[in-house]
Chains A and B, each alone.
Chain A
Amino acid sequence: MEGLSVVAANLKVFLQPSQSNNLTLAIFRELSALLFKYHDEFDGVLLAYNVHAPENKGRILPGVHPFIAVRLEAKLLVFSPKPDMLLEGKVVKVAEESIHVIVLGFSSAVITDEDIRNEFKYKTKHGQGLYVNRSNKRHVIKAGTMIRFVVKSMNEETLHIYGSLIPANTGSIKILEKSSEHTNTESVTINSTPKKRRSKEQGVAQITEHGSIVKDAPSHNNYDREIKKPRRS
C-alpha cells in the first residue's frame, strides 16, 4: 500500500507551567492531540509518533504567558495519499451506486458506480449487495472484502477519500495476489515499480492484508517544525 511514510522530525512543543511536574505525559498529550488530523507541515495525516527529548529539559519562555519549550526528535508515521496512489481498505457497505471502504480503520473512502469498471456487475444475494466480476466469477466484492483501489482525490479536512476501481490492478486483494502469482507479472509490491522504489527511499511500511504494519525504515526527510502552542483552558 502506498501513501504511508515514516519521517524524522525535529519538533518544538510548548507546554503550560502547570504540567511541569510530569513533562512526559504533557508531551504525549500535546502530540496525541495532533493524531488523525491533516497537517500541512507534515503534508499528511499523523498516525503515530515515537518521540524522545534529546536535552531532557525545557526552556522557560518569558512573557505575559510563560510556557516551557521542549525540543523533541520524533519519528512520525504519516499518511498522505495522493491521486493515482494505490490504497487498500476494508469494504463496509456495497450499494448499487457506491462502494464504501474504510482505510486504516479511520479514513472513509467512497467509490461511486461511475468509477467502477464495467467488468463488475452489481448483484444482490441473500439480501446483501455485492459486485461480481463478469470474467472471473470468484472475484467478488462485498462487505468485509479487502480491496485495492486508486485514489482520485482526498478531502484533507474530513479525511474523506474518493477512489476508483477502473484500473485493472484494482479489486479484491486476495484475487489480485492469486492472479499475480499465477501469471508472474509485475506485482504491486514495494520493490518492483519505480514509483514504489521512490516510496521505499522515503521509508514505506508494508501493510499486510489485515492492515497491520510489518516494517518501516528511517527516512531521509527531516522536518523542523514547531507544534502550535496549547490552547488555553
Chain B
Amino acid sequence: MQTSTKALSGAVADIDDLHHEKLLKAIFNLSLWNFGPDVIDALLELIVSLAASNGKHVDSCLDMLVSNFTPPNKVLDMLKQPRGLEKKERVLPRVHAALKNISELVPMAASRLSSIVLEQMPWKSKRNVDQWSMKRQLIYVENMFKLESGAIREFVGANMLKDVMNVLRDLDVAIGWDDILHDDSSKGVFMIELEDENYADGDEDADADGKLPSTLSEKSLSKNLTAELLDSLMVQTFEHLESSVSNKRLSEVFDTLLSSFKDTVLNTYKSKFTQFVMFYACALDPEHCGTEFASELIDMFVGGHNPLTSRMSAVAYLASFLARGKFLPPAFVASYLGRLVDWCWQYCVMHDGDMNPKLHQVFYSGCQAMMYILCFRMRLMVEIPLLKSQLFCMPIDKIFKHKLDPLKVCLPSIVEEFLKQAKAARLFTSSKTFVFEDLLVSNLSRDFGGLERLDMFFPFDPCLLKNADRSFIRPNYVYWKYVRTTYHEDIDDDDEEDGSDGEVEGAAEFDDDMEEVIISRSYGDNDLEMDEFDYAMNKMSITPRNNSSAGLRMPSRIRPSMSPESL
C-alpha cells in the first residue's frame, strides 16, 4: 500500500480526473483511521501532491481530509479508551498538517475549506440526534476548534467559530422550552427561579438518565439527546475558550464570537443556553471581554437606527448580564446602569406623552432593564458610598414619576421587587399603590413586549445544562436566592448551605476606606472555603460596615415571601 501510494505521488501530474476517475474515487474514499502511521504519511503526501498538481482535485482532496475528521463507527465507540485515543493522536494531527500543507501550496484552497467543513457537518438543523451522530458531532467540532486555533486560523478560524455558534443555536432552538416551567403567570419571575434552584439542587439523584430536571424527562428521548449534545458541545466550547486564554488569543476569539452573537443569537429569542458562551468568555476576562460585551449591548440599545426588536433584545441581554455576572464589580454595573438611566431620562424629556406600551416599547424595555439590574445589585451599590451617591444622583424617581408611567407597564413582579428594595434603601418611593397579586405578567407588559414577548426575556436565566453549568457557569453566576436585598433583616446564618452551591453574592471586596473595588474572580473549591470563612467572620460583627444608610442590613438569605424556603 505504502509503495504503491508513493509511486502514485510521483506520477500525479499524469493522473487525469476523467480517465482515472475510478482510481481517484478509490483514493478519496479511503479512511486514514484504518492504517498505520507510515501508510497514512504516504497517503497524505499523495493527497497533497494531487491538490497541488491540478486545481480540479483541490475540492476532492479537501473533502477527503475533512471526512477523516470523524473515524469509522467501530473506532468511534472506543474513542475514550486508550486504543481509540492512540488512533486519534495518530490520525488527526497528520490530517491537520496536510490541510496546512495544501493551503501553503494552493493559497485559494483555504477559502474553499470553510464551506467544505460546513457541508460535511454530521449533525444539521432539523435532524434527530442519535448516539452515533452525537459522537461524530463531538469529534467533528473538536476538529473545527483545532482549525480555529491552528496554523491556518487566519483563513478559516472565524468561520469555524461562527459555524460552531450556529450549531449550538440550532440545537438550542430544537429543544422546545416553550412548554416548561415559565408559563405559570401566577408566579413572579424571582419565585420561579427559587423553585428552579431548589429543584436543581435537590434532585441530582433523580437525574439518573439525563442531564435535565425531571420535568423534562417526560420529553421524547431525542430531545434529551439534543440537550445532552448541546451540553457536551458547550463544555467543549468553554474548554476551547480556556485554551484561548492560555494562548493569549481570547480577545481575537471574542471579537468573532461577538460578531456571531450580534448576527444570530441576539435575535433568536428561543435561545436559552447558547448565549452562555458569551457569558463565560466575559467571566474569563471581565476587564476586556466584559467591557466590550456590555458596551456593544448598550450602543445597540441607544442606537436609534437599529431595528426595534434588536434594541429591546440588546437591553434585555445587558440587564441580565449585569445582574448575573458575579465577576462584574459594582462600579462596572453602576457605570452601565448610569448610561441606561440617562438614556431613559432623555427619552422622557423628548417624549412628553402619556403611557402607551406599544408606542414606547424601547423606553419600557429600558426601564424594565434598570429595575431588573437594581433588584440584583441595589444592595451592593448602596453599601459603597461612592456608588451610592452616584445612584442617588441618577434621575430614577423622575423617570418613574413621568407621565409615561413605566411602573404600570413593566412586568409586575419586577416592579414589585424593585419598589420594595427602593423603598428600603430610600432610593425611591412610589406615591401610587400597585396591587399586582404576585402576577408575572400584565396586559400592558404583554403590549410592550410584542409578539416576541420581549417583556419576559431574561436571556441569562439559570443554565439548565448540567455539565456546562456545574463546572463553568455556576462559579461565575449570581443566583437570586443568594442575592442580598435591601429590605431583609440580617439573621444568623448557621443553616447556610455548604458545598459547591454555597457561593456568596457580593463578589467585590473593599478596603478600609471603601474607595476601591477589586474585580471579583470566579471561585474554585479552595476559594469557596476561604469565602465561607470570611463570610462567617463578617457575620460575627454586629456593626454595619458603614453608617451612611439606615437601610443597610447584614448579609442574609432571601426568604421567599409566599413559599417555604425549601420546596
Contacts and interface: CB of A to CB of B under 8 A. Distances in A.
A157 B57 CA distance: 12
Interface stretch (A50-58, A95-103, A206-214): A95-103
Contact of A110 (B11, B53, B305): B53
A119 B92 CA distance: 42
Interface in A87-139: 92-93, 95-98, 100, 102, 105-108, 110, 112-114
B214 interface: no
Given A158-B58, A160-B54, A97 B11 contact: yes
B450 interface: no
Contacts of A100: 52, 105
Interface of B is mostly: helix
A97 B105 contact: no
A21 B305 CA distance: 9
Interface of A: 21, 36, 92-93, 95-98, 100, 102, 105-108, 110, 112-114, 155, 157-160
20 contacts: A21-B305, A36-B108, A93-B52, A96-B10, A97-B10, A98-B52, A102-B107, A105-B107, A108-B105, A108-B107, A112-B53, A113-B13, A114-B13, A155-B56, A157-B56, A158-B56, A158-B58, A158-B108, A160-B56, A160-B106
Contacts of A157: 55-56
Nearest to B106: A108
Interface of B: 10-13, 49, 52-56, 58, 104-108, 111, 305
B105 A98 contact: no
B26 to A, nearest CB: 21
A108 to B, nearest CB: 4
Contact of B52 (A110, A114, A155): A110
A93 B13 contact: no
Contacts of B105: 92-93, 100, 102, 108
A97 B12 contact: yes
Nearest to B112: A158
Contacts of B58: 158
A98 B53 contact: yes
Given A93-B105, A159-B108, A112 B55 contact: no
Contacts of A97: 10-13
Nearest to B57: A158
Contacts of B11: 97
Query: Lowest 8 CB-CB distances: which A-B pairs, in order?
Result: A158-B55, A160-B55, A112-B13, A108-B106, A155-B55, A106-B107, A100-B105, A100-B52
Contacts of A96: 10
A190 to B, nearest CB: 26
Contacts of B56: 155, 157-158, 160
Contacts of B12: 97-98
Nearest to B111: A36
Contacts of B108: 36, 106-108, 158-159
Contacts of A158: 55-56, 58, 108
B532 to A, nearest CB: 53
B10 to A, nearest CB: 5
Given A36-B108, A92-B104, A110-B53, 20 more contacts: A93-B105, A95-B49, A96-B10, A97-B10, A97-B13, A98-B49, A98-B52, A100-B105, A102-B105, A106-B107, A107-B107, A108-B105, A108-B106, A110-B54, A113-B13, A157-B55, A158-B55, A158-B58, A158-B108, A159-B108
A160 B49 CA distance: 14
Contacts of A106: 107-108
B13 A98 contact: yes
A103 B55 CA distance: 14
Nearest to B45: A95
Nearest to B101: A93
A107 B111 CA distance: 13
A157 B17 CA distance: 15
A165 B81 CA distance: 53
Contact of B55 (A21, A93, A108): A108
Contacts of A112: 13, 53
A51 B7 CA distance: 51
A114 B101 CA distance: 24
A107 B108 CA distance: 7
A41 B175 CA distance: 49
A16 B243 CA distance: 40
Nearest to A36: B108
A106 B13 CA distance: 21
B309 to A, nearest CB: 15
A164 to B, nearest CB: 13
A111 to B, nearest CB: 10
A178 to B, nearest CB: 29
Nearest to A106: B107
